[in-house]
Structure 1
Amino acid sequence: MHLSDVRNLVSGLAVTTTILQFLSGTLVCKQYVKNQTTAESSPLPFLCGALSSALWLLYGLTKHDDKIVLVNTIGVSLMVSYTVVFYIYTFKKSSLLKQIFVTVSLIIFFIGYVSIEEDNELLLGRLGLIACSLTLITIAAPMSKLVYVIKMKNTECLPFPMIVMSFFVSALWFLYGLIEEDTYLILPNFIGAMLAACQLSLFLMYPRMPQSPSLTKSILA
């Protein structure tokens, strides 16, 4: 198999798994609906995902890359939908609204920046760097519940499907970066794969035991 064939295979798998990663949020939301609560789950994976997808979408539009535009249009749409579901079932609505406001404000800011920046090369570099950083934050977002997981010895609040997909997506983009010898792809996706692997290790150490809303509130009291 020629290098070009390997490159096409890896890039195709990376695009496919990225879309599947976005869709994995439906499994998380299905659990919220089943339990009628988000319990101690964090909305950050959805909010960071929406912001990251929005930035990659702006990057794709600036670069005129149809694949990036398609993947991240789907990403933004799904992350917004997941956030709506989270809002319906969370008992921390006021806190979530503040986080949504910050996220939307940042997206508007970047849209404004893209519209006034005349240096296209500089714009692509800055958008790419910020988007990569936000991708790492999105992968690391579930770690915000690390203290709770260790204290309760329970991984129920972690979005397992999204973490699994984050690992595979990061690993594939890392491999693609090696083929392309692209440091901007290699470094963030290597770190992303390691972060996801660390989060997956928590599921080996602690079980996933459902928490009832009343028990969760009593713990927080």
Structure 2
Amino acid sequence: MAGISGHWAFAFGLLGNIVSFIVFLSPIPTFYKIYKKKSTEGYQSIPYVVALFSSMLWIYYALLKTNVTLLITINSFGMFIETIYVGLYLFYAPKKAKVQTAKMLMLFVVAGFGAIVLVSQFLLKGAVRGQVVGWICLIFSLCVFVAPLGIVRQVIKTKSVEYMPLLLSVFLTLSAVMWFFYGLLLKDINIAAPNVLGFIFGILQIVLYAIYSKKEKVVLKEQKLPEIQKPEIIVKDENINSNKQLPELTQEQIIDIVRLAGLLVCTDKVSVATCPQDTTKAVNKVENMPKLQTAVAT
């Protein structure tokens, strides 16, 4: 029975190594962007310093135990890759960020890790040493798993999943599952317990991503809908640009028009007696005029 449990523990530990390997490589796009722009922009170094300290702490704990070799393999890689990340950050960071990163390295890696090693080596003996270091690892891991609460709060507040990549949340959740069963099968509470919290927060991030990503898609779809334009009403004047000619007026029709105009004018004059004479003169003039043909200019 113990042999079967050991085989399962190895299987989960191996899967945990694979998933954690992917998680450790997840910041590569970020550092590629830093390399291309030759600047760290607004990125912070504390996640990489903390990850470096965590890897060192778990390696030290694994060295004090006898059956957790897979913890050494993955955290050795983690310590290696996080050292590269911190080195690149220091190379491209502005002076102020370099000073802050150096202070954190001194606080966590030198002072913190050094104090844990010295105290455990000189003040603790045998199995007690492993238990104390294990509890330190457990407490620190709980703090690391609580850190995503800041991202969760930001997602709820902004209703946006821009700063919470789905793949990273999925891999962190899978990693928590693998290491939980690895610790459970080895009956090591220091490995199993923190990953319960990691699994819960991982599922929470995935659920939030599913909720708010749908809302974002709906908003984007509404923003891309074309505006409904009112149809333009075009009134076309059929008389515009037409070449229709007015009908030809005969001499008799012109005479009638002049007489009618003369009568209308006479009604507004004080002396009406002179009207017929004026009209007759106008008619005589019109009779001697040539025939006219008018047209509307195009």
TM class by shorter chain equals 0.7 to 0.9
Q: Is the 8 A contact 2:62 2:72 kept in 1?
A: yes
Equivalent in 32, 50, 53 of residue 51 of structure 1: 53
1:9 is aligned to 2:15: no
Equivalent in 194, 198, 202 of residue 204 of structure 2: 198
Q: More displaced, 99-108 or 82-91?
A: 82-91
The equivalent residue for 1:69 is 72
The equivalent residue for 1:219 is none
Q: Is the 8 A contact 2:176 2:199 kept in 1?
A: yes
Distance 2:148 2:35 in 1: 19
The equivalent residue for 1:137 is 143
The residue type equivalent to 2:149 in the other structure is: M
Indicate the percent of aligned positions where both proteins have the same amino acid.
22
The residue type equivalent to 2:51 in the other structure is: G
1:107 is aligned to 2:109: yes
Distance 1:35 1:204 in 2: 32
Q: How far is 1:90 from its partner?
A: 7.1
Distance 1:35 1:155 in 2: 25
Deviation per residue, 1:15-63 (Å, 9 max, x gap): 2222222122324444666788777665443232112112112223344
Distance 2:180 2:199 in 1: 8
Distance 2:141 2:210 in 1: 25
The equivalent residue for 1:79 is 82
**Runs of 5+ unmatched residues, structure 2:** 217-298
Q: How far is 1:95 from its partner?
A: 5.6
Change (3 A) 1:18 1:191: same
Q: Is the 8 A contact 1:21 1:162 kept in 2?
A: yes
TM-score normalised per structure 1: 0.72
Distance 2:7 2:158 in 1: 48
The equivalent residue for 2:186 is 180
Q: How far is 1:7 from its partner?
A: 2.6
Q: More displaced, 73-82 or 108-117?
A: 108-117
Partner-residue secondary structure (3-state), 1:206: helix
Runs of 4+ in 1 over 6 A off after TM superposition: 34-40, 88-91
Partner-residue secondary structure (3-state), 2:148: helix
Q: How far is 1:196 from its partner?
A: 1.8
Alpha-carbon RMSD: 3.5
Change (3 A) 1:39 1:137: farther
Instruction: From the two aligned structures, give the one with the greater helix fraction.
Output: 1
Q: Is the 8 A contact 1:14 1:172 kept in 2?
A: yes
Larger RCO: Structure 1 or Structure 2 (Cα < 8 Å, ≥ 6 residues apart)? Answer: 1
TM-score normalised per structure 2: 0.56
**Runs of 5+ unmatched residues, structure 1:** 210-221
The residue type equivalent to 2:100 in the other structure is: K
Q: Is the 8 A contact 1:48 1:134 kept in 2?
A: no
The equivalent residue for 2:285 is none
Q: More displaced, 2-11 or 32-41?
A: 32-41
